[in-house]
Amino acid sequence: MVWQSEMTLLNNRFFLGDFLKWFSLTLLICLAFFVPLFGIPGGADGVWAALLIVGIGACLLVVSTLLFAAIMGNRVPMEFQIGEGGVAMRSVSKRVKGINRLTMILGLLSGKPGAVGAGAIGASQENSSIPWDELRKVHCYPDQRVIFLKGGILSRIRLYCSAENYEAVEKKVREMALQQGAVQIRTS
């Protein structure tokens, strides 16, 4: 079973939820690092400097996310495949691939390892798969036609279905997940 679908960005509750979760976690880690680093030697002025640094970083993260959404037209085309070996997802967007490659090249040319790493992480997430024997959790959202699959620690896929194929996809995922036995299945 193979199909393509577009994942929306700024009006997608799943994307926004993930963004807020990772944004908050990043903000807390930065605060936990910078506030003591600047606050201990600098007192109140050091704490304000740390808050300013973290605030600027937070603003840049929000602006870069909005810029990415604008460049992508608020949509990322994806291809999904369900087979006997498991579930696979891949980005079919030439823009996403181009952005990831360009980020790595510009990072190399400017000597910025962080940019190279960001591009490499993006490129590595263009394709993702979960074998059936690693599947641990399935959460179905029929109203949004989305099925969330969780495998190992960082192994997650959201299947974005069409109105025409959602029921068939959910049936196949449930069937294969139940064969594995230790899979938690929920519907919202």
Q: What is the pTM of this model?
A: 0.77
| Residue among 178, 171, 182 at smallest CA distance from 147 | 171
Q: Say if residues 76 and 9 touch (Cβ distance below 8 Å).
A: yes
Instruction: Give how far Cα 106 sits from Cα of 15, 80, 116, 117, Å.
Output: 27, 30, 8, 11
Domain spans, the chain: 2-187
Q: Say if residues 173 and 130 touch (Cβ distance below 8 Å).
A: no
Res 167: pLDDT? 93
Angle separating helix axes 94-110 and 113-124, nearest 10 degrees? 160
59 exposure class (CB count in 10 Å sphere: 0-12, 13-18, 19+): exposed
* pLDDT of 131 higher than 80: yes
| Per-residue pLDDT tens over the stretch 138-188 | 999 999 999 999 988 878 899 999 989 999 999 999 888 888 776 778 788
